[in-house]
């Protein structure tokens, strides 16, 4: 066990936190440590098309259909009786720091208390502000502004349990509560949308070395989901066995973006 003490700024979403949910048991084997949903502004879930993974794994993968120019948010529920830290990346970028993400436990992360849920609506640009996620062309995406196409169209979440050590009374991290058109690309990406209020505070959280769950959601335009046979369109195709990626500080404002918290 790594005994090195990690002290870092972490974020706990306060907006959208739910009360404790009775009747939920401790997560079993990492499979249901967290529930992940991609939702619209009305709180309705985008339908997920799961992809089978062979054997027993802590990872789950699924497709969803991206709706052009629609806002979306990521809703996560902690099904365990312990605090967990969530490293969340969209298009390969950490949604808190805006930096390239490898889903490691030394990255900026949100923290959920036992049996609580939270909604993460955008790129965190300040302690109390986020800029909304929305589906757009890859060339208009936040990641493209930094020349990063390594994980375009992927929403990735790694859940880390808290490292068990004597607890201290002090808390010292952050706890948070969540254009000109460019040349189009074939794949979708996530844009840097309008700014919204999202209060936060600092908390202390010492993550374990390994995650208990990983979720990957690949969003595609409808025509591409049809072509891959993920959804039924005009023709009937057999569902794929496993075609997920088959072949082929705070988040800084993207270059050239006018910084206006009150837009």
pLDDT band at residue 163 under the 50/70/90 scheme: confident
- What tokens does 222 get? 């409808």
pLDDT exceeds 60 at position 143: yes
pLDDT at 25 over 60: no
Whether the predicted pLDDT of 36 surpasses 90: yes
- pLDDT score of 196: 79
Q: Is the pLDDT of residue 43 over 70?
A: yes
DSSP string, 159-215: EEEBP-----S---SEEE---PPPPP-SSEEEEEEEEEE--EEEE---B-SS-SEEE
Q: Report pLDDT for 12.
A: 36
- End-to-end alpha-carbon separation of the chain, Å? 47
Sorted by sequence, the CB contacts under 8 Å of residue 77 that are 6+ apart come out as: 18, 21, 34, 35, 112, 115, 116, 117
pLDDT score, position 228: 85
Which tokens in the block code for residue 188? 């979708």
Higher pLDDT, 208 or 261: 208
Q: What is the pLDDT of residue 154?
A: 95
Band of residue 87 on the pLDDT scale cut at 50, 70, 90? very high
Q: Report percent pLDDT > 70 for the chain.
A: 69
Q: pLDDT band at residue 232, thresholds of 50, 70 and 90?
A: confident
- Asked whether the predicted pLDDT for residue 175 surpasses 80, the reply is no
- Determine the pLDDT at residue 149: 92
Instruction: Judge whether residue 173 has pLDDT over 80.
Output: no
Backbone angles phi, psi at 140, to 5 degrees: -105, 10
- When the pLDDT of each residue in the chain is averaged and rounded to a whole number, the result is 76
Token pair, residue 56, equals: 């027993």
- The Cα 189–Cα 145 span in angstroms is 11
Is the pTM higher than 0.85? The answer reads no
d(CA 256, CA 6): 35
Lowest-confidence range among 135-139, 149-153, 175-179, 195-199? Answer: 175-179
- Cα separation, 119 vs 44, whole angstroms: 12
Of 11-20, 148-157, 191-200, the range with the lowest mean pLDDT is 11-20
CA atoms in the 13 A half-sphere facing the CB of 252: 8
Q: Which phi and psi (to 5°) does residue 23 adopt?
A: 90, -5
Least confident of 15-24, 172-181, 198-207, 217-226: 15-24
Q: How does 112-125 read in b/e, with b if 16+ C-beta sit within 10 Å?
A: bbebbbbbbbbbbb
Whether pLDDT at 39 is above 80: yes
pLDDT value of position 113: 93
Around Cβ 14, how many Cβ atoms within 10 Å? Answer: 15
Cβ neighbours of 33 (radius 10 Å): 24
Instruction: Supply 179's token pair.
Output: 């254009």
Over its C-alpha atoms, the chain yields an Rg (Å, rounded) of 18
Give the lowest-confidence range in 68-77, 151-160, 175-184, 244-253: 175-184
DSSP bridge pairs for 155: 90, 217
> CA-to-CA distance for 256 and 181, rounded, in angstroms?
13
């Amino acid at each position: 066990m790594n005994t090195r003490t990690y002290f870092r700024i972490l974020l706990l979403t306060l907006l959208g936190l739910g009360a404790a949910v009775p009747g939920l048991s401790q997560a079993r084997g990492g499979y249901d440590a967290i529930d992940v949903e991609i939702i619209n502004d009305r709180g309705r879930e985008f339908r997920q098309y799961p992809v089978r993974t062979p054997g027993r794994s802590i990872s789950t993968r699924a497709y969803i259909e991206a709706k052009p120019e629609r806002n979306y948010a990521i809703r996560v529920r902690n099904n365990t009786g312990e605090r967990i830290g969530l490293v969340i990346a969209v298009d390969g970028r950490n949604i808190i720091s805006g930096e390239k993400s490898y889903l490691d436990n030394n990255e900026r992360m949100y923290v959920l208390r036992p049996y609580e849920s939270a909604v993460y609506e955008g790129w965190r640009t300040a302690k109390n502000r986020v800029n909304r996620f929305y589906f757009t062309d890859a060339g208009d995406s936040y990641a493209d502004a930094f020349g990063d196409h390594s994980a375009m169209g992927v929403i990735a979440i790694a859940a880390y349990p808290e490292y068990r050590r004597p607890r201290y009374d002090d808390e010292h991290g952050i706890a948070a509560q969540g254009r000109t058109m460019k040349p189009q690309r074939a794949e979708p990406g996530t844009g840097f949308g309008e700014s919204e209020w999202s209060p936060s505070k600092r908390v202390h959280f010492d993550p374990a070395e390994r995650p208990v769950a990983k979720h990957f959601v690949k969003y595609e335009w409808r025509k591409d989901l049809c072509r891959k046979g993920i959804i039924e369109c005009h023709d009937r195709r057999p569902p794929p066995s496993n075609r997920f990626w088959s072949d082929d500080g705070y988040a800084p404002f993207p270059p050239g973006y006018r910084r206006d918290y009150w837009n």
